[in-house]
């Protein structure tokens, strides 16, 4: 039965995704089911989207209730769910204003625009240069591609927008050398996701914050993947006690419904006037209602360091495998954002784990990425580790 749907997709859909041969039709909590009734434990969570699990009852109820009331109005009018969500995120983050859009790429594009506008209008400094990090991933629009220094994503889409330069992650001296009088903002993922689960050093982020303060440069944290409870705190920057000027969110914000957000300080917000930016769908009542429910669930899930402890348990289990299989080069992570780096391409392991009933993926070719819903329990982790152990044993032979 799944073959029929796959054949139709190949005939009608743009062929830009390297999909696995599974048609998923239902999800509950940690579990998803394909069209043939096979069950999978989801350790990818829609690439870090389903942090509260699949079809969480509170999120489903919020969507149902809002869908029966008001789905869309545009931003010409006020809507209550949007106002409530803005208040919630501002209070949680310590920043001052919220703007809503539809995706992480849109959030990052908005952050770049806002930073440039502030530096130009308020500081009177032209140039608009943005510095981002090697191994970063900020999106697939032309502008966010320009902020993503990966040739495999950029090739064929030239010319990209100008005004971007790149430095090594966690290298403060390289960053200092890259700054010019045209630099408007520094853009960083506190934990690089697509780049292979690389974690910012505590001293590094503090030094970047000090540098931005000294040079009047905007600090943007891209928490599209590492935010919303993924690291065990609502926002990854809370681990570092370093506050950004602009914060971008998406993925898990809506509990599975597309929504992105830019949070920013009041000083930057004041540089923006009516008509400087906008969106038709961004922050519509349906998406904001889903997001409000999702945020409330995440608040409960991260209480008492539960996610942090589960992440430590998961990492220990992977480190035990690393002791047995010398082709695992490294295990690293924060909370439930975890990577295991291999000496070779991990695509075949992903496929074999799929056959055993587990959804994972491989990023940067060699890093097995684990992003389970925050509701994951130790027995789920143990089951995955056992399956992965069996797959790795076959390779060792």
Q: What is the pLDDT along the chain (397 residues), one digit of tens a residue?
A: 778 999 999 999 999 999 999 999 999 999 999 999 999 999 999 999 999 999 999 999 999 999 999 999 999 999 999 999 999 999 999 999 999 999 999 999 999 999 999 999 999 988 899 999 999 999 999 999 999 999 999 999 999 999 999 999 999 999 999 999 999 999 999 999 999 999 999 999 999 999 999 999 999 999 999 999 999 999 999 999 999 999 999 999 999 999 999 999 999 999 999 999 999 999 999 999 999 999 999 999 999 999 999 999 999 999 999 999 999 999 999 999 999 999 999 999 999 999 999 999 999 999 999 999 999 999 999 999 999 999 999 986 5
Active-site entry in 222, 265, 314, 358:
222
Our answer to whether residue 7 is catalytic in this structure is no
Residues in contact with 244: Cβ distance below 8 Å, sequence separation at least 6, in sequence order: 95, 219, 220, 221, 237
CATH architecture, domain defined by 2-55+305-396? Alpha-Beta Complex (3.90)
Asked if residue 188 lies in contact with residue 198, where contact means CB atoms within 8 angstroms, the answer is no
Q: Where are the domains of the chain?
A: 2-55+305-396, 58-301
Our answer to whether residue 370 is catalytic in this structure is no
pLDDT over 70 for what percent of the chain?
A: 99
Our answer to whether residue 327 is catalytic in this structure is no
Active-site entry in 100, 137, 164, 370:
137
Active-site entry in 114, 117, 221, 251:
251
User: What is the reported pLDDT for 396?
Assistant: 67
CA 283/CA 292 separation, integer angstroms = 11
User: What is the reported pLDDT for 3?
Assistant: 81
User: What is the reported pLDDT for 127?
Assistant: 84
Please determine whether the domains at 2-55+305-396 and 58-301 fall in the same fold group of CATH: no
CA 307/CA 373 separation, integer angstroms = 10
- Output the pTM of the full model: 0.97
CA 250/CA 269 separation, integer angstroms = 20
Residues in contact with 10: Cβ distance below 8 Å, sequence separation at least 6, in sequence order: none
| CATH class (in words) of the domain with range 58-301 | alpha beta
**What is the crossing angle of helices 57-67 and 285-301, to 10°?**
160
């Amino acid at each position: 039965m799944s073959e029929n749907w796959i054949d139709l997709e190949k005939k009608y859909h743009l062929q830009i995704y390297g999909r696995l041969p599974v048609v998923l039709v239902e999800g509950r909590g940690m579990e998803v089911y394909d069209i043939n009734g096979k069950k999978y434990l989801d350790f990818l969570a829609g690439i870090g989207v389903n942090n509260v699990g699949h079809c969480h009852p509170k999120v489903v109820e919020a969507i149902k209730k809002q869908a029966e009331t008001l789905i869309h109005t545009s931003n010409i009018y006020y809507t209550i769910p949007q106002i409530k969500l803005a208040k919630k995120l501002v209070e949680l983050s310590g920043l001052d204003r919220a703007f809503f859009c539809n995706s992480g790429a849109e959030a990052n594009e908005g952050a770049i625009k806002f930073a440039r506008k502030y530096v130009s209008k308020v500081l009177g400094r032209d140039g608009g240069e943005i510095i981002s990090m090697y191994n970063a991933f900020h999106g697939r629009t032309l502008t966010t591609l320009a902020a993503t220094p990966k040739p495999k994503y950029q090739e064929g889409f030239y010319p990209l927008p100008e005004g971007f330069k790149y430095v090594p992650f966690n290298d403060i001296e390289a960053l200092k050398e890259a700054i010019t009088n045209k630099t408007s903002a520094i853009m960083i993922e506190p934990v690089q996701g697509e780049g292979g689960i690389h974690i910012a050093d505590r001293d590094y982020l503090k030094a970047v914050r000090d540098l931005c303060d000294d040079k009047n440069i905007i600090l943007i944290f891209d928490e599209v993947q590492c935010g919303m409870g993924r690291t065990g705190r609502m926002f990854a920057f809370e681990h570092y006690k370093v506050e950004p000027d602009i914060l971008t969110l998406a993925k898990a914000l809506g509990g599975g419904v597309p929504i992105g957000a830019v949070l920013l300080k009041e000083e930057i917000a004041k540089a923006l006037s009516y008509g400087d930016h906008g969106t038709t769908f961004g922050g519509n009542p349906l998406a904001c209602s889903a997001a409000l429910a999702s945020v409330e669930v995440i608040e409960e899930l991260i209480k008492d360091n539960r996610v942090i402890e589960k992440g430590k348990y998961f990492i220990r289990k992977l480190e035990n495998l690393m002791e047995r299989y010398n082709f695992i080069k490294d295990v690293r992570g924060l909370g439930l954002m975890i990577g295991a780096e291999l000496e070779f391409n991990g695509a075949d392991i992903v496929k074999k784990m799929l056959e055993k009933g587990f959804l994972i993926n491989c990023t940067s070719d060699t890093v097995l990425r684990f992003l389970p819903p925050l509701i994951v329990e130790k027995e789920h982790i143990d089951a995955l580790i056992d399956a992965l152990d069996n797959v790795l044993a076959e390779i060792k032979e």
